[in-house]
Chains A and B, each alone.
Chain A
Amino acid sequence: MKRQNSNSGKNTLKQPLLEEDKVKSLFNAKLWDDDYRRGLKEEIANSKPYNWGTIPELVSDDLLRAVRKEIETEIHFTKKETDIYKVNQSGDLANLAGLDWNDLSRLPNLYKLRQILYSEIYRDFIAYVTDSGKLSGQKADMSINTYTKGCHLLTHDDVIGSRRISFILYLPDPDRTWKSHYGGGLRLFDSIVSNVPCSDSCAKLVPQFNQIAFFKVKPGFSFHDVEEVKVDKHRLSIQGWYHIPQVGEDGHIPGEEEKWVQTNTSTLAQLESNVLQDYEFPKFERDILPYHQVKHFEKVLAQDKVEDMSNNFTVENGIKELTPISAISDEKILNEQELNYLRRYLSEQYLTEDGIAKLQSDFLENSSLQIDDFLNEKKSTLLQKLIKQNELENDCPYKAKDVQTPWKTAIPPHKWRYLYIDGKSLENFQTETDILENLNREELPNFELLKQTLDKSKNSTEIELMDLVEFFKSTIYKKYLALITALCPLSEQVLIRRFRPGKDFTLATKCQLNKILENVDGFVDAVLEGTLCITPFDGWESGEVGGYELYMADNDEEDDENVSKKSQLDKDVEDASVYRTDDSGDSVLLNSSASWNTFNLVLRDESVLEFVKYISWSAKSSRWDIKMQWDVKSTEQESEN
């Protein structure tokens, strides 16, 4: 996915200066009161979870109303949606000074507002109360966003380039109070350790007209998000940053900005650089299958034609040998016993000779399969009833601390958040010690054992789902998988996941191959990934409420040549950007909305990004799915030999 250079719209301000008295008069007078300033400074120094502050009625009411009017009439917004946000964006405000006079005359109040927000006296005020050090007046960096119903911005830390302070000036309807249940709040996250924010926010600001919120950009700690707007209202805001002083400015220190940028790689870069993988849960690590299983898959795939194996005899070097009885036969077709096992869960149409042949050829043609009605009607009906019942009748925990076995919360929330069952004992990470203890005594998944610990009357849905997982982990199912993909599974991971409305998502990530298996003969540098979507309610098709799973090509690779022409600083800024350009149509490889009983199977190479879009608060239910991954090898070589 292409990350845009966030510096693109930042211009040096060249504007006639307003007189200081004039600037002061346009702010709330209390800003210039020493007691107020001291009080605010102290408040910010002691604020939790990191240094932040807010000032209601920041500027002249008349000025801000006039600004709002100008924005409403003169600025065009475009709705943009990526894995991390959905928002209506305007262009960058930094180049206002470069507009021609016609355009300028259309936005005089906005122009004035920007001037006072970047005036020396106000910058000094912000630097004083936040203890940030000097702030640049040249590098103005603002944009206007309006969050309408369904809009949101997921957790991030704002660490990009030379940003020192982030601020948001709110402009919802000036004549009405913005209420907490409208959503759109600014939520702040405490951190377990640096770069690992807690799953749930610990502070929320309900924004009012003419209120500003601001915080020090603190790498690894200043995590925040914008709560989804839940009603049909416009939460208009001006978002901006104060940067490290530039060359020629008061407070400029040569090399300071470069050092800052280099030291503080952003959230995204951190996630991608694998530094924090120990602190990610669940880990996308697949457990290596026992060799006695793998060798059967190898034999199945290695055959050129079906041999008569009815007597469990095989001919090797002219000598008849007895093949040991196994859970699966080594034949390249499914025998009756295997079919009967598969029939317990799967639809008949995918088990017939024709059905399998069709899946084989489709997979070879497309490297992916989208299979409707994958589970048979009996299983499907039972599961649908249970999941619906679970959705309608049971309380679903919304805070990580309330999540109970067998469920866990996926962390950290700047990468993903959802509930999952991985077949291991309860973990509920609140502190660093919790995580370290877990890392010291890691378990292998055992769904059967976990199932036995559950209360049947309370966890009937979970037990049924875990049965299904055991089916997907069975040797016979993996033989079926080997047959339709012509790939031999070497390792596996199966997770039951639940994405709650108004809460859960995954950001786009690439898959990682299993390093231990890299040198295995025929190892395929791609992961076979299956998603059985079992979301029982409708309303997902348009994608409006999110919940879709999207696979996309990473265009960065193709742009390598262009990147090399840019300066190192530009590249750093670009890599560090949390924001992404929206998906251009041709990079999308697969897009499947949440649905009932659909199985997606994808052979995913390392360059392919995948995410599950944030589920809107207005979705009818959670998205439920079972996610499976296998490392695979190809037996092509062997069969050719």
Chain B
Amino acid sequence: MAKRALGLGQKSKEKKRKLEEKQATDSRDATPGADQLSVEMDENADLDNEFSQLKGLWKTYFASDRESEMVLNGIVHECDRLLRQSSEDAAVKASLSGEFHSIYALALSELTIFKAGEDGDSKDEKLVKGFFDNALERCELGQSSFPDSALLNLVKAKIIIQRIPLEYISQLNVKSTGKRFDVDLDDQLEIAKKNFNIYDDDLQLSSEVLQMLDDLLDIVENFGHEDDIDEGLDSDDEEELEKIELSPSHPLFKLQKSVPENYKWLREQMIQLLQHIKEKDSKLYHDTARSIGHLYLKFAEEPSSEFMRLQYGDEEEDPKKQSASKDCINAQRNALKYTKEALKYLEKGKISDEPETWVEVAEAYISLGNLYDYQSKDQEHAYSVAETILKKANKASHGKFQDILDNLLDKE
């Protein structure tokens, strides 16, 4: 009979004591395996092939929560080693595909996330710039050997889109003027867009690039409001941010002007991406559909508020009522069109055990109801659909959406 286990508390004291003793007697001994990582490989992967291992490592990192700088450094070093080896070993050289260069470039650009300091330290800026330059250089070198690699093109788009906020916009404030950088940000974005493609072998990567663009456009659109957003304005639906107009000499001016155009481009790409996703119940499919829904809602914002203003605004009787009424109808028509499209995609993005995704649908129905004529059948119907969904979601989430529901019932 083996001795019985000690209590957890005593055991931990004993272990601590043993550890201290061990450290005291053998302080030079490294602890091997302390940071071991398990790497998932493709089913058919050749385990001895170094490139397969590299690919497995990258995939593991890409799918993780990406908090390990060490793993990234490992990938970069391994790429570097393989590259050096390739000059002597023909077999290795033959294995360095477009994918190899992509992984190398992606790893370098991902490292910038760990290098960027919070306070805009100029040392960090240089470091970040260096990594982005290297990443792009690696990508372009790859492109010279593999000019038809769609993956390398996509990687280039990713690096540029990641670089704009992280390296450039982070240095700006509302008052920045003049030519600050050696590149034009708007032109850079155009280059990224040209290189972007929906890459069937890695739709996740294509999706990530589009999400990054979405974030970038949001940053540019709300430039100057970062502190307000920190205070949590988003949780209060009655508050809207006044857009901060940048001066024409501001480095972001052109990019800000082209935001609507770029949102449109983004939306079209997202729709394309959705068509390429075969698993209709995958997270990627749902997330993409919801993103498209959100983009359509964004397009509905302007005509919606125009309609609300013209229809329910309490200004004095407009002398040009005739034309105002025409504008009003137009605004209503446009807003309805976009909102209905949004609903179509939000429905596709619904996940059966995530009430938040149902609520997005309900909220779009409320927006739709607001756009229909006051107390019309359509309006009543839209509100009642929203109410049913919200009640269900509220039950499923322990009252999390009570305030939205209260708001809706109040409206009715």
Contacts and interface: CB of A to CB of B under 8 A. Distances in A.
Interface of A: 149, 173, 176, 179, 181-182, 231-234, 301-302, 304, 360, 363-364, 366-368, 388, 391-396, 398, 485-487, 500-502, 524-526, 537, 551, 553-554, 586, 589-590, 602-608, 617-618, 620, 622, 634-636, 639
Nearest to B356: A620
A604 B239 CA distance: 52
Nearest to A590: B8
Given A551-B8, A603-B6, A232 B1 contact: no
Nearest to B16: A586
B7 A301 contact: no
Interface stretch (B53-61, B108-116, B396-404): B396-404
A487 B3 CA distance: 10
Contacts of B10: 367, 605
Given A149-B232, A233-B235, A537-B353, A607 B9 contact: yes
B9 A589 contact: yes
Contact of A602 (B8, B354, B355): B8
Contacts of B30: none
Nearest to A541: B65
Interface string B1-36: 111111111111100100000000000000000000
14 contacts: A364-B4, A392-B355, A392-B395, A398-B399, A486-B2, A553-B12, A554-B9, A586-B16, A604-B9, A606-B7, A608-B9, A617-B398, A620-B354, A620-B397
Nearest to B235: A231
B398 A502 contact: yes
Contacts of B2: 360, 364, 486
Contact of B5 (A181, A525, A603): A603
Interface in B245-263: none
A549 to B, nearest CB: 13
Given A149-B232, A231-B232, A398-B399, A392 B353 contact: yes
Contacts of B12: 553, 589
A367 B1 contact: no
A486 B7 contact: no
B234 interface: yes
A639 B8 contact: no
B7 A604 contact: yes
Nearest to B403: A181
Given A234-B231, A635-B1, A393 B396 contact: yes
Given A233-B232, A364-B3, A526-B8, 17 more contacts: A179-B403, A231-B235, A304-B1, A366-B11, A367-B11, A391-B396, A392-B353, A392-B355, A485-B4, A487-B4, A487-B5, A524-B4, A554-B9, A603-B5, A608-B9, A622-B398, A634-B4
Contact of B8 (A234, A367, A500): A367
Nearest to B406: A181
A637 to B, nearest CB: 10
Nearest to A502: B398
Contacts of A525: 7
B403 A485 contact: no
A486 B4 contact: yes
B148 to A, nearest CB: 40
A635 B1 CA distance: 9
Contacts of A537: 353
Contacts of A605: 6-10
B1 A603 contact: no
A147 to B, nearest CB: 12
Given A232-B235, A367-B11, A394 B395 contact: yes
Give the one of B1, B2, B10, B236 with max A CB within 10 A.
B1
A586 B69 CA distance: 25
Interface string B288-328: 00000000000000000000000000000000000000000
Contacts of B231: 173, 232-234
Contacts of A636: 1, 3-4
Contacts of B4: 364, 485-487, 524, 634, 636
Nearest to B355: A392
Interface string B337-377: 00000000000000001110000000000000000000000
Nearest to A396: B398
A301 B2 CA distance: 10
Nearest to B399: A398
A61 to B, nearest CB: 19
Contacts of A526: 7-8
Contacts of A635: 1
List of 4 A-B pairs having minimum Cβ-Cβ separation, nearest first: A605-B7, A232-B232, A526-B7, A231-B235
A618 B401 CA distance: 11
B119 to A, nearest CB: 14
Nearest to B354: A620
A605 B9 CA distance: 6
A234 B228 CA distance: 12
A69 to B, nearest CB: 13
A604 B8 contact: yes
B398 A500 contact: yes
B6 A388 contact: no
A290 to B, nearest CB: 23
A368 B10 CA distance: 12
Given A232-B232, A301-B1, A553-B12, A603 B398 contact: no
Contacts of A367: 5-8, 10-11
Nearest to B6: A367
Which of A398, A526, A554, A586 gathers most chain B CB within 10 Å?
Answer: A526
B106 to A, nearest CB: 25
A110 B324 CA distance: 54
B353 A388 contact: yes
Nearest to A558: B13
A394 B392 CA distance: 10
Contacts of A604: 7-9
Contacts of A603: 5-8, 11
A608 B10 CA distance: 9
B232 A608 contact: no
Interface string B383-412: 000000000000111111011000000000
A47 to B, nearest CB: 27
B136 to A, nearest CB: 33
Contacts of A363: 5
B1 A395 contact: no
Nearest to A389: B353
A179 B402 CA distance: 13
A368 B3 contact: no
A90 B56 CA distance: 45
Contacts of A485: 4-5
Contacts of B400: 617-618
Contacts of A524: 4, 7
Contacts of B8: 367-368, 526, 551, 589-590, 602-605, 608
A589 to B, nearest CB: 5
Contacts of B3: 364, 636
B1 A639 contact: yes
B11 to A, nearest CB: 4
A301 B3 CA distance: 11
A304 B5 CA distance: 17
Contacts of A179: 403
A181 B235 CA distance: 11
Most chain B beta carbons < 10 A, residue from A231, A232, A551:
A232
Contacts of A607: 7, 9
A524 B7 CA distance: 9
Nearest to B394: A395
Given A391-B396, A553-B12, A608 B355 contact: no
A526 B354 CA distance: 42
Contacts of A486: 1-2, 4-5
Nearest to B3: A636
